[in-house]
Amino acid sequence: MTTVAPKSVDPEVDAIRHHYEVSNDFYRLLLGPSMMYSGGYWEAGEDLNAALDEAQYRKLDKFAELAGVSPATGRVLDIGCGWGTMLNRLTTVHGAGQAVGLTLSRTQEAFIAGLDNPRITTLVQSWADYKVADDSEKYDAAFCINALEHFVSSNLPPKERTKRYRFFFQQVAGALNPGAKFVLHTMTAEALPMTRGLLDDLKFLQRSEFEGCHIPHLSELSAAAEGLFEIDEVVNERESFAMACRAWLVLLAERRDEAVALEGEEVVSRFERYLDIFAYTLEDKFFNNFRVTITRR
Ligand SMILES: C[S@@+](CC[C@H](N)C(=O)[O-])C[C@H]1O[C@@H](n2cnc3c(N)ncnc32)[C@H](O)[C@@H]1O
């Protein structure tokens, strides 16, 4: 079962830990060896589950390529780094010198420590509080892979949310060297009419799984980045995340008894419901999953 320290003083931190401090053994079972909790790049004709890990690594390699990471790259930053797969890949496959990951999850930090990679530093710290000490700590590339959805609270009024997204891009810009690339994967929401069933499902997501989570609109993000970054490319990769959710549902179904033994029926049922909601809302084009590549001015 999950073993975590007492609650923090910040309800937003507790909301993240509610989801991300379910045990690493459970996440291993759910996500498979690649331990990526985001969309993957499947090729036509590939089997969803047989190719899950390959699809995840392919995505990471594409992101590294878009950011120009090579053995000449000094420091890279992954904001919302999960279990460290991208940090590990950037340093071991792409040759980056040092990789720093930010997460709020102490169980993820423990998992990354187990990778035993001396080029990785994990900080259990929010993006909002993180600052480089001086220019020598600035990064040559940054990534944020399906984590921004957690960064701005849905409890804020729209104007305050806009300011918070602006603050996010200011924080990233402040950590990057001029000319450095920032590659972001994020779900966004379309302003489409809702059915009662969809409203119920969105309420479930907000109340039971991802309290305060706000899925942004693309326009909020482009306005927030203006003047700080130049936009290189924006691609809607909705199916990348829908397919990943479907693949995790298959893994969970195959090993459901073990999952229940680890975390209990309530947690497993919650995960089944939320993954299905994300899969179908992406498939129905209510949500998108954008890959955004931008350059620090
Ligand atoms: C869906 S997971 C994605 C993890 C990883 N990028 C991946 O693709 O597998 C979201 C991550 O964001 C982190 N996170 C949530 N809120 C955060 C915050 N305020 N500051 C830093 N990390 C945060 C969580 O701890 C988690 O690691």
**pLDDT-based confidence at residue 9 (cuts at 50, 70, 90):** low
Atom 13 of ligand 1, nearest CA residue: 80
Distance 52 CA to ligand 1 centre (A): 20
Q: How far is CA 95 from the centre of its chain?
A: 22
Q: What is the pLDDT of residue 3?
A: 43
pLDDT at 5 over 60: no
Percent of the chain with pLDDT over 70: 97
Instruction: Name which residue sits closest to atom 27 of ligand 1, judged by CA.
Output: 82
CATH number of 11-296: 3.40.50.150
Cα 37 to middle of ligand 1, angstroms = 9
Residue 1 has pLDDT above 50, yes or no: no
Count of other CB atoms within 10 angstroms of residue 134 = 7
The residues lining ligand 1, judged by C-beta closer than 6 Å to any ligand atom, are: 16, 20, 36-38, 80-82, 102-105, 108, 126-127, 145-147, 150-151
For the cut 70, the answer to whether the pLDDT of residue 225 exceeds it is yes
Is the CB of residue 205 less than 8 Å from the CB of residue 246? no
CA of 205 to the centre of ligand 1 (A): 17
Q: Which of 12-26, 35-49, 81-95 has the lowest mean pLDDT?
A: 12-26
Give residue limits of the domains in the chain: 11-296
Q: How confident is the model at residue 8 (pLDDT cuts 50, 70, 90)?
A: low
Q: What is the mean pLDDT of residues 148-152?
A: 94
The residue whose CA is least distant from atom 12 of ligand 1 is 80
- Better-predicted residue by pLDDT, 5 or 203: 203
Looking at residue 55, its pLDDT comes to 98
From ligand 1's centre to the CA of 45, what distance in Å? 30
- What are the residue ranges of helices labelled H in the chain? 11-20, 24-31, 52-66, 85-92, 106-113, 158-175, 196-204, 218-225, 238-254, 256-263, 265-283
Q: What does the pLDDT look like over 250-282, one tens digit per residue? A: 999 999 999 999 999 999 999 999 999 999 999
